Structure formats: C-alpha cells, structure tokens
Amino acid sequence: MKTVSLLKTRSGGKLVPTIVLSSILLGACAASPTTPQAALDVREKLTELQSDPEMANNARNELRSAEEAVRIAEQPLGSGQADLADYRIYMADHMVEIARAKGTTRLLETERTRMGEQRDAARLTARTLEADRAQADAETARSSEAAAAALSAAAAADLQRRIDDLEAEATERGLVLTLGDVLFATGSAEIQGGSNRNLEKLVGFLNEYPDRNVVIEGHTDNVGSAQFNQTLSLQRAESVRRHLSDHGVERRRLTVNGYGLERPVASNESEAGRQQNRRVEVIIEN
C-alpha cells in the first residue's frame, strides 16, 4: 500500500534571492511556504482518474471529496508544518485511492449486469434450441408412430388377406378353418394324395405367424359306434398335426382333440349333412 505519511516535504528555495530576502526580512522564518511535492503527485493521480470517463461517472462523489482533500494538501505550508503537510497528503492520497477502488467496484458491477444480460440471452438461445429440438423429436416420434401404425395397418390388411385366402371363419375362439372329408378316405385317417391346397395355405400361414397356436379338432358323422368315431376323429386330427409338423410347424403349437360324433354341424339324416359333419376343424387362436 502506498502511504505518503513518511514522505517529507521538500523545502522550496527555487529562488535564491527570495530566500536571501526572506532571511533578511523574516529572520527566524526558515523558508517560504510551498506546495509539497507529494501533494503534486497525488494531484497527478487524481487528474488521471478524473480524466477517465468511466471513473468520473462511477465515482463522482468520491472524486469530489478527493478533489477537496487534494486542494487542502496543495495549500502551501512552511517547513515548520511538515507534520500537517504529511497529514493532509495522507488523507488526500487515501481518498484518491478510495475513489479509484469504488469506481472500479461499480465498473465491475455494471459489467456484471451486462454479463448477466448476455448470459440470460445465451440461456434463452440454449432453451430455444432445446425446445426446437424437443419439438423436432416429438415430430419424429409422431411420424414414426404413424409409420408404425401404417405398418401395423398394412400387416393387419395382409393378415386379413391371408385369412380370407384360407377361407377361415373368424369366431370368438379364433379363426376356424374347416377341412372337409374329401381329405380322407372313408374309415381312414390317412390324408389322401399327401397334399392339399388348403393344408398348404395353412402351413404357409402358420409359418408366417409363428406366435399363433392351433387346436386341431376331429369330427365324424353318426355312422358306426361312438367309440369308433371318437378314435377315428382323434386319428384324423393327429394326421393333420403330423402333416403340419412335417412341414415346419412346431409340435408344441399344435393341440389335438377327437370329438367323434358329439358335435355335428348339420343333420346326420341326409348324406349332405353327414358329409358336412365329417370334418377336421383347425382353430387358429387369436
């Protein structure tokens, strides 16, 4: 820290004749009163601050007080009043430094406000960016949702086409596909000809939708004993299961039941009705 308390005032004595004259006239008085050099130094510092427009603006009152103190310090004093001179310079110097410090503080505070505003602006930009991005994300999500919906709609349409193709009937148990008795010879459980268009379509469908399980039910007409018909119906259902598993459908997806003559769909009185009753129903579960 700068202190001027230790600085000594310099005796003037620029003009020798003055000193001589003074000596003669005043005798005891040692030197003529002069402005201490240190006061001039303080004045220089003060002038520097005053000429800085930002300082002048930010420390107006402090600079005014310092000006007053410097003016007092500049008052010429005799060498006998060195202590008073030191005191005045100390005060003036400190007040100039106080003005400088306060001006600096206020300048920094002004800057802070500006920085705060800048930061707010930056934050706002960031937030806007973020919001834009969020909106873009939401739009992407929406469009992908729409795409998914479209896809599932397409898939559903495809499924419907396949179901239509299978000529299956949609019931509450699932899709029911009825394989007629033409598949089997009378009294036999073997599938005729080894192949059938309806079975082929069923295999294709089940391989395309691997998460769907199937119940295969055998039914007969009322010709013959109930026991015979039950066994025959089960064997025919088993035949269909074997055919499906031979063509790549997992066995665990396939359940078989033989109902014999228990569940006719038509009258057994006529040949046409009995033919309708001899059937294997494949239920594709939902």
Partner 1 sequence: MKTCPTTWSRHRIPLLCVIALATLMAACAATPLPPSESLAAATNAIASAEQAGARHYAGAELEEARSQLVLAEQAVTEEAMIEAERLAHQSRVAAELALARTESAKAVEINREMERGADALDVEMRRQGEQK
Give the interface with partner 1 as residue ranges (CB under 8 A).
Answer: 1, 3, 5, 83-84, 87, 90-91, 94-95, 97-98, 101-102, 104-105, 108-109, 111-112, 115-116, 118-119, 122-123, 125-126, 129-130, 133
86/281 with CB nearer partner 1: 86
CB of 93 to partner 1, least distance (A): 9
Supply 17's token pair.
């004749």
65/255 with CB nearer partner 1: 65
21/129 with CB nearer partner 1: 129
CB of 168 to partner 1, least distance (A): 51
Residue in the structure block whose two tokens are 């998914």: 148
Q: What is the C-alpha separation between 190 and 184, in angstroms, rounded?
A: 6
Q: What is the C-alpha separation between 203 and 244, in angstroms, rounded?
A: 6
The helix or strand, by DSSP H or E, that contains position 229, with its residue range, turns out to be: helix 226-246
CB of 57 to partner 1, least distance (A): 16
Q: Would you call 69 exposed, middle or buried from its count of C-beta atoms within 10 A (0-12, 13-18, 19+)?
A: buried
**CA-based radius of gyration for the chain:** 56
CB of 107 to partner 1, least distance (A): 8
How close are the terminal C-alpha atoms of the chain, in Å? 92
Q: What is the C-alpha separation between 95 and 69, in angstroms, rounded?
A: 7
CB of 10 to partner 1, least distance (A): 21
39/191 with CB nearer partner 1: 39
1/24 with CB nearer partner 1: 1
* Side chain identity at residue 281, one-letter code: E
